[in-house]
Amino acid sequence: MLIEVTKDSIIQDPDFLATKCLKMAPADIERETELMKTAFEWVSDPKNGALGLASTQVGSKWRWFVMKNPNHKRAWLNKEAGGPVVIVINPKYRGNGTKRTCEESCFSIPGKAFKIHRTSSLIATFLKLNPETGETKQITTTYTGSSAQIFQHEFDHLRGLTIADRGE
């Protein structure tokens, strides 16, 4: 298992990135905790310039990702889902905003940018992993703006979709 994340170790193989990830049971979460924490630390380190990282990008086939949460200081957001970086397990969401066109890039597709349609707001449910305690908590929250955009980008990875598949 990959235990160090670096820019060069991020997977670019389109076949692996097309993996449809599997829902995690508690035992799966326990086995993946170290890798999720490593991904959390990598996304949290500003010198890496990352907004998120999905399991398939580090060689895993389970339904989790790490996202930056730029809007976490908005008081009306559910505080439980807050913090500047969030580990998201078994996510689902429902869009409730307007469609907008975003320009995105991805560490798995270096040097390219794609235009892609995203909802401006969504309601997400997932298990949030606390990287300090290793505990999980069920969360339902609204994400808007950049947070919603990052959530959708990482969610697509778990369905085996990249911006090269969905964007133009």
Chain position whose Cβ is nearest to Zn ion: 106
Kindly report the backbone phi and psi dihedral angles of residue 112, in degrees, each rounded to the nearest multiple of 5, phi listed first. -125, 150
Give me the least distance between CB of 159 and Zn ion, in Å please: 12
Question: Nearer to Zn ion by C-beta: 106 or 122?
Answer: 106
Touching Zn ion, residues 71-130 (CB under 5 A):
106
Touching Zn ion, residues 22-41 (CB under 5 A):
none
Touching Zn ion, residues 146-165 (CB under 5 A):
none
Would you state the torsion angle of the CA atoms of residues 70, 72, 77, 80, taken in this order, to the nearest 10 degrees?
A: 130
Question: Nearer to Zn ion by C-beta: 106 or 139?
Answer: 106
Question: Nearer to Zn ion by C-beta: 77 or 146?
Answer: 146
Give the integer Cα–Cα distance in Å for 45 and 6: 11
Closest alpha carbon to 87 in 60, 117, 119:
60
Q: Is 50 in the site for Zn ion (CB under 5 A)?
A: no
Question: Nearer to Zn ion by C-beta: 72 or 166?
Answer: 166
Three-class DSSP labels, 1-44: CCCCCCHHHCCCCHHHHCCCCECCCHHHHHHHHHHHHHHHHHHH
Give me the least distance between CB of 153 and Zn ion, in Å please: 6
User: Hey, CA dihedral for 146, 111, 43, 19, is it positive or negative?
Assistant: positive
Residue numbers at the binding site for Zn ion (CB under 5 A): 106
